[in-house]
Amino acid sequence: SQKIEQNSEALNIQEGKTATLTCNYTNYSPAYLQWYRQDPGRGPVFLLLIRENEKEKRKERLKVTFDTTLKQSLFHITASQPADSATYLCAPDLYSGNTPLVFGKGTRLSVIA
């Protein structure tokens, strides 16, 4: 979606490093933002939801930040593993309220052993 920019189509990192994926949105003020993981040939799987007043949320090795001033969310995977290789999609609540999510095009992460 042109309303949402995810930093790059592909990101390669070494195993054990921290992967940082970026999601930028313009001209909107979402109250929520979700992150999903998609493996080849499978449907997206929900990972995390962050609210506009939460700033940061963690789940195991995952961390999401939400900067409403910069209109940006960062998704971090610490101590990355080859099993983390997948496409990651962000989905901000662009229109607020009772409307569906809009998904970014995704960033394909490859963790190299």
Partner 1 sequence: NAGVTQTPKFQVLKTGQSMTLQCAQDMNHNSMYWYRQDPGMGLRLIYYSASEGTTDKGEVPNGYNVSRLNKREFSLRLESAAPSQTSVYFCASSASGTPSNQPQHFGDGTRLSIL
Q: Within 10 A of 16 (CB to CB), how many other CB atoms are there?
A: 11
Nearer to partner 1, 72 or 95 (CB): 95
Helix (H, G, I), strand (E, B) or coil at 84: helix
Burial of 105 (0-12, 13-18, 19+ CB in 10 A): middle
Q: Is 74 in the site for partner 1 (CB under 8 A)?
A: no
CB of 82: closest distance to partner 1 in angstroms?
Answer: 22
Distance, CA of 73 to CA of 48 (rounded, Å): 12
Tokens read off for 65: 């930040």
Binds partner 1 by CB under 8 A, chosen from 23, 64, 75, 106 = 106
Site residues (CB under 8 A) for partner 1, limited to 31-50? 31-32, 34, 36, 41-46, 49
Query: What are the residues binding partner 1 (CB under 8 A)?
Result: 1, 30-32, 34, 36, 41-46, 49, 51, 89, 93, 95-106
